[in-house]
Amino acid sequence: MTEIEIIKLLSMILALAIAIIGHEIMHGWVAYKYGDPTAKSLGRLSVNPLVHIDPIGTILVPAVLYFSGAPFIFGWAKPVPINISTVIRNGGTNAAVAVSLAGITYNFILAAICAAIFPLFSHPESMFSAFIAFFLYQSVVINVLLGIFNLWPIPPLDGANAVRYLAQGWNLKGFTLIYDKIAPYGMLLLLAVLFTPLSSYLFQPVGWIIKWLMA
């Protein structure tokens, strides 16, 4: 590998780690603010990446995507444990919605910050500034991708959880009943969507948002 290829790979790994680990920490942190100490008591609010690594989502999937020449990489960290009953008891279903959307909010805010800083390094004059430029660009792409992906209303994604808690708060019992019946099959449904042309339509906002942020 050339120096530039090594810099690109390292910047991509760092950007992905910060995106997915921060995403999970934010779920636990917001839950903690609503009185749920589960994640904190288990040490899962730590920024230490070792406590968040999922062998498949953090290592295998990104590696396969990278070495297969995929146009993007994404992955996930080990989910932060949350006692949603405690959150709802202390803050109601709106608190549960806030916990569900905390990671997505983090991803979009981080993407916006990195996009704002990127012009300062858009013409790198050293290997270090090139690394920063690649890192900032990859951070925008990866965080927007993760934010949009997790907004899909398909269990067990965050967007589906948020919709489920909204329906519960609005006392839409018929909807929550249907959701709870679908939820056990959510992963199969998600895989079916990912490997069909439908996914290209659902991912379209990613390109629009990245173009808007980097304009």
Nearest to 87 by CA among 79, 97, 75: 97
Quick: pLDDT tens for 67-113. Answer: 887 777 778 889 999 999 999 999 999 999 999 999 999 999 999 99
CB of 148 closer than 8 Å to CB of 116? no
**Does residue 115 surpass a pLDDT of 90?**
yes
User: Which DSSP string do the residues of 31-59 spell out, in sequence order?
Assistant: HHHTT--HHHHTTTT---GGGT--IIIII
Identity at 76, one-letter amino acid code = W
CA 26 from centre of chain: 10
Please indicate whether residue 125 is annotated as part of the active site. Answer: no
Tokens of 129: 């500034």
Q: Please name the residues in contact with 56: beta carbons below 8 A apart, sequence gap of 6 or more.
A: none
**Does residue 122 surpass a pLDDT of 90?**
no
Q: Please name the residues in contact with 96: beta carbons below 8 A apart, sequence gap of 6 or more.
A: 84, 87, 88, 161, 165, 168
- 60 DSSP 8-state letter: I
Could you report how far apart the first and last alpha carbons of the chain are, in Å?
Answer: 31
Quick: pLDDT tens for 51-63. Answer: 998 888 888 888 8
Tokens of 3: 């120096």
Nearest to 35 by CA among 83, 81, 79: 83
**What is the predicted pLDDT for the residue at 15?**
95
Choosing from 3, 5, 24, 125, which is the catalytic residue?
24
Query: Distance (Å, rounded) from C-alpha 141 to C-alpha 160?
Result: 22
**What is the predicted pLDDT for the residue at 17?**
93
Tokens of 87: 């959150």
**What is the predicted pLDDT for the residue at 153?**
92
Nearest to 42 by CA among 34, 58, 55, 31: 31
Quick: pLDDT tens for 149-178. Answer: 999 999 989 999 999 999 999 999 888 998
Identity at 202, one-letter amino acid code = L
CB of 20 closer than 8 Å to CB of 58? yes
